[in-house]
Structure 1
Amino acid sequence: MKLINSIGPNPHVVRMFAAEKGIDLPKQDIDLLKGENRQPPYNTINVTGTTPALVLDNGQVICEITTISEYLEEKHPTPALIGSTPEERAETRMWTRRIDLGVLEPLTNGFRATEGRALFEPRIKLVSKEAGQELKGLAQDKLAWLDGQLGAKQYICGDRFTLADILLFCFIAFAKQVGQDLPADAKNLRAWFERVGQRPSVKA
């Protein structure tokens, strides 16, 4: 296998997931800032032009970070980062979906339309700057809601460290770099972020 890698939170999710499992993924880096992901040969490998992409030994290419993570979990089931029972897997997927739609989408689209506009405007269609600010506000609202849901739990799924934690951590780490910090009163999420940040896999 080979991971086509770049800067950004999406590849970080896969690298961290693989590191938690002890999987050594050879990497091929492409330059996102120069737009290599939107040009041949990469956009013929991954038609969406997004990163990362996992190239299997048989030449098949798997894209989308949750799908890549699911594949790695099936090939390397321990330690279980999605779940070892149908109930655990359902819980992880439920929270992963909530985080993806409620936090990650407005967070990233808000960034692209505002601070990241100069980079992304020539490449993809964006909402207005005003709408971008509103999207960032939606992400903040959902993070505040998530803080309440987290409560005193160690991780998103209770005592289990899962893909949901990895997904949220990588995107919050990115958001902090582009002016979207956690809500000031989100004490549970801040403690969770520090706790996850101590895991060696975050450096992957």
Structure 2
Amino acid sequence: MKLYDALGPNPRAMRMFLAEKGITIPSANINMMAAENRKPPYTDRNPGGQVPALELDNGKCIGETVAIFEYLEEKHPTPALIGTTAEERAEARQWQRRVELQITEHLYNGFRYSEGLQMFKDRMRVLPEASAGLKAIVQDKLKWLDNLLEGKQYIAGDRFTVADIILYCALDFGAGVKQSIDPSLKNVNAWFKRVDSRPSAKSSRHPDSAKSGMRGV
């Protein structure tokens, strides 16, 4: 297998997942700043153009982060980051879906349409007029999540799951692009500190993250 890696919060989420699992996979770095992920030969393997991607031994390529999580969880079930029972897996997937649809996708697009506009305007359709509203939705949904985290260690209760990884990496990135967590959200901030203290949070930073000038990658 080969992992296609890069600077960015989603590649970092993959590295954090692998660190939590104790899995090592040979990797190749893709220069997203130079848009290598948006053109051949990378798009020949992964036409979606996203990073990370996982190339299997048979040459097939999995190009969606959550799909890679699912694949590796089946291959390496311990420690479980999705779940060990049908109920646990459903709960983690429910929260993963909520986190992505209601928070992280809005956070990323809010960045792409404003601070990241020059980088993304020639790579995708951008909607600068939507940026402020998307960022406001992120804050609304973090307030919603804050109430639901009362009495919990992690998003799915006492279990650390992929939902925590996905949200943590997005919010750590967000803090560097003018989308910080509201200090009044005591439960979200306490949760963030718990996740940030995990060894995988530090080890998952890209070797070039410091010189990139970006946080949370």
**Range class of TM-score, shorter chain:** over 0.9
Partner of 2:17: 17
Structure 1 CA distance, aligned partners of 2:176 and 2:29? 21
Q: Give the partner amino acid of 1:173.
A: D
The alpha-carbon deviation at position 183 of structure 1 amounts to 1.7
| TM-score of the pair, normalised by structure 1 | 0.97
* Structure 2: 5+ residue stretches without partners: 205-217
- 1:6 corresponds in structure 2 to 6
2:85 match: 85
Q: Hey, what's the Cα distance between the residues in 2 that align with 1:165 and 1:101?
A: 14
Asked if residue 66 in structure 1 is aligned to residue 74 in structure 2, the reply is no
Shift of 1:131: 1.1
Where does residue 213 of structure 2 map in the other structure? none
CA RMSD of superposed structures (Å):
0.8
The number of residue pairs the alignment matches comes to 203
**Aligned twin of 1:145:** 144
2:71, 2:200 → 1: CA distance? 19
Task: Tell me how far 1:60 sits from its aligned partner.
Answer: 1.1
Separation in structure 2 between the aligned mates of residue 93 and residue 183 of structure 1, nearest angstrom:
26
Structure 1 unaligned residues grouped into runs of 5+: none
Q: Give the match for residue 37 of structure 1.
A: 37
Contact 2:11 2:52 in 1 (8 A): yes
% identity of equivalent residues: 54
User: Following TM superposition, where does structure 1 have runs of at least 4 consecutive aligned residues deviating by more than 4 angstroms?
Assistant: none
- Partner residue of 2:163? 164
- Looking at structure 1, the residues matched to 60 and 49 of structure 2 have their Cα atoms a distance apart, in angstroms, of 16
Q: Which amino acid aligns with 1:150?
A: L
Indicate if the aligned counterparts of 2:113 and 2:126 stay in contact, CA closer than 8 A: yes
- Contact 2:48/2:63 (CA < 8 Å) preserved in 1? no
| CA distance in structure 2 between the partners assigned to 1:112 and 1:98 by the alignment | 21
What is the correspondence of 1:66-145 to structure 2 with a 5 Å cutoff?
66-127=66-127, 129-145=128-144
Q: Does structure 1 retain, via aligned residues, the 8 Å contact 2:146–2:185?
A: yes
Partner SS, residue 3 of structure 1: strand
Distance 2:162 2:130 in 1: 29
Shift of the alpha carbon at 1:14? 1.0
Q: Secondary structure at the match of 2:163?
A: helix
Return the alpha-carbon distance in structure 2 between the equivalents of residues 83 and 67 of structure 1.
15
Alpha-carbon offset, residue 105 of structure 1: 1.1
| Structure 1 residue 152 displacement after superposition | 2.0
Q: Name the aligned partner's letter for residue 193 of structure 1.
A: F
Cα deviation 1:145-164 (Å, max 9, x = unaligned): 01111112000011100011
Q: C-alpha separation between the residues in 2 aligned to 1:144 and 1:64?
A: 28
Distance in 2 separating the partners of 1:34 and 1:116? 14
* In structure 2, C-alpha distance between the alignment counterparts of 1:183 and 1:44, rounded to whole Å: 41
